[in-house]
Amino acid sequence: MSVQVPKPDHCIDLGVGQPDPALLPTALFSDLAVGWQDLAYGEHAGDRGFRQHLAHWLSGEYQTPVEPQQLFVTTGSSGGLDMICSRLARPGDVVLVEEPSYFLALMQLVEHGLKPVAVPMDRDGLEPAALEQAIRQHRPAFIYSIPTYHNPTGITQSRARREALVALARQYDCPLVADEVYQCLYFAEPPPPPLACFDPQAPVLSIGSFSKILAPGLRLGWLHGSGEVLGRLLGSALLKSGGGLAPVTSALVNPLIEQGALQSYIAGLRQTFRARRDCLHDSLSAALGGQLELNRPDGGYFLWAHLRDGRDIRAHEPRCRALGVAVKAGPLFSVRGGFRSSLRLCFAWYDEAQLRAGAERLARALDGGY
Amino acid sequence: MSVQVPKPDHCIDLGVGQPDPALLPTALFSDLAVGWQDLAYGEHAGDRGFRQHLAHWLSGEYQTPVEPQQLFVTTGSSGGLDMICSRLARPGDVVLVEEPSYFLALMQLVEHGLKPVAVPMDRDGLEPAALEQAIRQHRPAFIYSIPTYHNPTGITQSRARREALVALARQYDCPLVADEVYQCLYFAEPPPPPLACFDPQAPVLSIGSFSKILAPGLRLGWLHGSGEVLGRLLGSALLKSGGGLAPVTSALVNPLIEQGALQSYIAGLRQTFRARRDCLHDSLSAALGGQLELNRPDGGYFLWAHLRDGRDIRAHEPRCRALGVAVKAGPLFSVRGGFRSSLRLCFAWYDEAQLRAGAERLARALDGGY
């Protein structure tokens, strides 16, 4: 076996938003078997037994009933978004996105010829009045939102805000695609349920994934939604030709859900990531509190920080490189080139010692000025 | 575990082009383990070690060198075609296809807003003169061809024909996408190598898959090509976000290639399918020789048959249903509604006793007239 993607040797890259390889639950995957049913072409929506276990687990997790027929098993969140881009939109269409938003989702939209148009956020997430105005103005193919532990800002939409957004999706019959891959990674209270839980008549698709809570190499995730909009994906020729998207990988994960191993593993991740969030936050505050405004997200993977003096973070990049540290610069997350003084920092990929070392290096790089 | 897609109870469906579940190599998947490297985000092109083993095996299989850097690991042939449709074409573009062609590929093209335009075949496959004329007339986004044990006709392009088609792709800088999922299922002599083996400078992508030679539930395949056209796919934001498409499933298959278990399994399939081809062919010839013109393909999954009296096969469908047999009617494979007297029959899904029973039922259905 070869290392598929190694960590860099001489740089603590706080820009990388991946789970720590050292935390991957290898032991859960050490004694596997799949049956002939899993080796054959599978049900289009995903294996029924797997969807039953997944729905049961999610119902408890969300404190809201989820039915197996509301779930479509995918090849992870980016695979799900890819199908949405090619099946629910056509090149030239507008997609409304948060400003800022997940940079690789923005790239995926552009790659499909779609035009991301920014809608502002407030401390409760996407602003409904601005969203409604943008829907009327642009008639978008869909809205792409990150409701929980937003990437990069860490903001979580309140329950009332979720209700308002879902109501708009229904009123304008505009699909609302919610990227909820951090939903289960809460550090204290669980967040409000995913957008797909609010109104079964609304065209809402919640994107879920095992990448951040189990193992990205599985390329396994799900779409959660109901009615017409899910049906448009399930009727795809891709599924008619290839069958379900993940018979074998879902069979590997099925017993982990059924026996509770997934749930135990996630509980451990919450503890670990909470401690890592505190570690990175406190290290940076201690070293750079005067220069850096920092959030303290209630879950997820990322801190979102701002240089108080308004300088462009990209001007610091050569010095960061020289000192062996990296971050993701704010403009990457903006369709307008905004957030020039902002940076995203991931606390999931490294352990606490490395996070402290990364924070020290970053402090030296930023202190050094231009 | 639940049965993902069962065979129908009361019908021998010779239309289904799937491997026989009874032949799936469950024993090869009974003692699996994957390491942390496989659980992490993977290399965009696919795990390097896996591509090395895959390249080594294919080089022997094709009697032509295949390099790991010419391979991109995908989620099966339909997943590969889906990426090609969304990355190498835009809605409204023409795609040149054989007449007839694989019906679900045609559906996939249409689903992406592409316009399949038919190019005729002769006994050696796609006609170069007609293809050149169509390239000049339509400026297609790409050409979709099935060079070996063509679905549905069973035709295999000669070596000279392959050279001519690849030369046209290069001359007009028009991507040539070759669906080669039956390449390894030869019953006597191996076919000429896949189109991607002929000219590393030509924009050719050969689609390979483990679905027909190991297990479709893996959703594992590859694209084989070189240079710019493969690079356009490898630069995709889908990969930047999700990493390689199949780290875990490729890790499951890797030891099977390395240890030769895949190769032994395929050798067995060739024997089994040759016997099944003979069984279905001979049963139909004996029962319907006067009415049915039949091919005898050198490999693959399908017989292609024609009603000698020119009647429309679809008129027989109610009687087929009543007698418990089904076929795929020719017009499904045509962009023009042609081949009304033709039918595709799969000899891979059923064992010999069932094939004989299916042939008898079909004979009774067709004998009964309208």
Exposed e or buried b per residue across A57-93, where buried means at least 16 C-beta atoms within 10 angstroms of its C-beta: bbeebbeeebebebbbbbbbbbbbbbbbbbbbbbeeb
Angstroms from A67 CA to nearest CA on chain B: 18
Cβ atoms of A75 and A42 within 8 Å: the answer is no
Domains of chain B: 12-24+263-368 (3.90.1150.10), 32-259 (3.40.640.10)
Q: Give residue A249's identity as a one-letter amino acid code.
A: T
Q: What is the pLDDT of residues A217-240, one digit of tens each?
A: 999 999 999 889 999 999 999 999
> What pLDDT score does B358 carry?
96
CB contact under 8 A, B238 and A79: yes
Work out the average pLDDT over B44-66: 97
Nearest by CB to A24, which of B32, B36, B82? B36
Q: In this model, does residue B352 exceed pLDDT 60?
A: yes
The predicted model gives A67-87 an average pLDDT of: 97
A156 Cα to chain B: minimum distance (Å): 22
| CB distance B242 to A216 below 8 Å | yes
The model's pLDDT over A328-364, given as tens digits with 9 standing for 90+, comes to 999 999 999 999 999 999 999 999 999 999 999 999 9
| Residue B364 pLDDT class (50, 70, 90 cuts) | very high
CB B76, CB B212: distance < 8 Å: no
Q: What is the torsional sign of CA A37, A263, A354, A314?
A: positive
Give the pLDDT of residue B2. 41
Closest residue of A to B107, CA-based? A237
Whether B359 has a pLDDT exceeding 50, the answer reads yes
What's the rounded mean pLDDT across residues B43-62? 97
CB contact under 8 A, B42 and A5: yes
Segment B122-134 mean pLDDT: 97
Q: In sequence order, what are the residues at sequence separation of 6 or more whose Cβ sits closer than 8 angstroms to the Cβ of residue B58? A: B66, B71, B208, B224
Average pLDDT, chain B: 94
Test B2 with A237 for CB contact under 8 angstroms. Answer: no
| Predicted local confidence at residue B370, as pLDDT | 43
Structure tokens belonging to residue A238: 């891709």
Query: Chain A: nearest CA to B306, how far in angstroms?
Result: 24
For the cut 90, the answer to whether the pLDDT of residue A369 exceeds it is no
CB neighbourhood size of A127 (10 A): 18
Test B2 with A48 for CB contact under 8 angstroms.
yes
Cα of A246 to nearest chain B Cα, Å: 7
**Residues B85-115: tens digit of each pLDDT:** 999 999 999 999 999 999 999 999 999 999 9
Model confidence at A30, pLDDT cuts 50, 70, 90, reads confident
Report d(CA A34, CA A260) in Å as an integer: 19
Percent of chain A scoring above 70 in pLDDT: 98
Give the pLDDT confidence of A152-186 residue by residue, as tens digits. 999 999 999 999 999 999 999 999 999 999 999 99
pLDDT of B309: 92
Please check the confidence at residue B3 and state whether its pLDDT lies above 90: no
CB A177 within 8 A of CB A81: yes
CA torsion through residues A78, A139, A239, B339, sign: negative
DSSP element (H, E) containing A286: helix A261-288
Q: Which pLDDT tens digit goes with each residue over A275-326? A: 999 999 999 999 998 899 999 999 999 999 999 999 999 999 999 999 999 9
Cβ distance B249 to A248 less than 8 Å, yes or no, reads: yes
Residue of A nearest to B218 (CA): A248
Could you tell me the maximum CA-CA distance found in chain A, to the nearest angstrom?
62
pLDDT tens-digit profile of B190-248? 999 999 999 999 999 999 999 999 999 999 999 999 889 999 999 999 999 999 999 99
| Residue A128 predicted with pLDDT over 80 | yes
Q: What pLDDT, on a 0 to 100 scale, did the predictor assign at position A90?
A: 95
Contact list in A for residue B249 (CB cut-off 8 A) is: 248-249
Of the candidates B75, B110, B217, the beta carbon closest to that of A75 is on: B75
pTM, rounded to two decimals? 0.94
Q: Is the pLDDT of residue A19 over 90?
A: no
Cβ separation of B40 and A24 shorter than 8 Å? yes
Between helix A261-288 and helix A352-367 the angle, nearest 10°, is 30
Query: Which pLDDT belongs to residue A17?
Result: 87
Query: Which residue from B29, B238, B243 is facing A216, i.e. has the nearest CB?
Result: B243
Look at residue B21 in the predicted model and tell me its pLDDT. Answer: 85
Q: Is the ipTM of this complex over 0.90?
A: yes
pLDDT at B22: 86
To the nearest whole number, what is the mean pLDDT of chain A?
94
Nearest CB among B1, B49, B211 relative to A2 is that of B49
Is A85 within 8 Å of B87 when comparing Cβ atoms?
no
Across the range B49-56, mean pLDDT stands at: 98
Closest CA–CA distance from residue B115 to any residue of chain A (Å): 15
Residue B1 banded pLDDT, cuts 50, 70, 90: very low
List of chain B residues whose C-beta atoms are within 8 Å of the C-beta of residue A35: 1, 26
Task: Provide the pLDDT for residue A368.
Answer: 61
Q: How far is A152 from chain B (nearest CA, A)?
A: 14
